[in-house]
Amino acid sequence: MTTLTVFLIDPNRLFRAGLKRVLDGAHFEVVGEAASLHEITASEADLMLIDPAAGDITERAFQTLRLAHPKARIVVLTSELDARHLAAALRAGANGYLRKDIASESLMQSLTLVMMGETVFPTELAALLLGGQTAVDEPQSQRKGLSPRETQILHCLLAGSSNKTIANHLKITEATVKVHLKSLLRKINATNRTQAAIWAMNNGIGQASVVPATV
């Protein structure tokens, strides 16, 4: 697997060191780091991970970062849910918005999806932007932490669709479908597509039409 280069932007030196060890153990290689936007050096990294605490991360700041590094994927990695930062990041073309308390395996999967061209952010942040929902009101798919894309794939599994059919329907690659499928099976504790479809039926996920959505 091709090694992807990463640039870290986070004010916490210890966190950067820990994240570097996690990433370097996978198919990522940290090639640079900075404590703030002002300390960023010239970099041709494939991926940039940034904590909004590394300065006043406004929409303009994201746009400046995007213009300076047009080929890089940019992902926000933060300890706080902040609708303002999320909206600014997405408007400026960020490719993801993730929580720092994410499991290492989930982080690797999310970053892999970003490098495949997906936009990744937690389901609860989507609800936050739309005004929020209580845990009681959330559908079972959200309480299980399924992303909108994973829920779409569940709909497709209920219809008996193959990976190729799902990929064509959602306009993503079969490799991306497989990554999403692996993630959702883990989240609902299922071992195969049939068990996933049964779980979907038992939890009120019908065969409604699928609409485009981010991860």
Domain limits, the chain: 4-129, 140-202
Q: Quote the CA–CA distance of 25 and 20 in Å, as a whole number.
A: 8
The pLDDT value recorded for residue 172 is 92
Q: What is the CATH number of domain 140-202?
A: 1.10.10.10
| Ordered DSSP codes for 40-106 | PPP---SEEEE-TTTTT--HHHHHHHHHHSTTSEEEEEESS--HHHHHHHHHTT-SEEEETTS-HHH
The pLDDT value recorded for residue 36 is 85
Place of tokens 């991926």: 47
pTM (predicted TM-score) = 0.63
Give me the amino acid identity at 27: H
166 or 2: which leads in pLDDT: 166
pLDDT band at 206 (very low <50, low <70, confident <90, very high): low
Q: Give me the numbers of helices (H) and strands (E) for the chain, helices first please.
A: 10, 5
CATH second-level architecture of 4-129?
A: 3-Layer(aba) Sandwich (3.40)
Chain centroid, CA 91 distance in Å: 16
| Residues facing residue 33 across a β-bridge | 8
Domains 4-129 and 140-202 share a fold: no
Radius of gyration of the chain (CA): 18
Tens of pLDDT, residue by residue over 14-31, are: 999 999 999 987 889 999
13 by Cβ neighbours in 10 Å (0-12 / 13-18 / 19+) ranks as exposed
Tens of pLDDT, residue by residue over 129-141, are: 544 443 333 445 4
Mean pLDDT of 28-35: 91
Q: Quote the CA–CA distance of 9 and 53 in Å, as a whole number.
A: 9
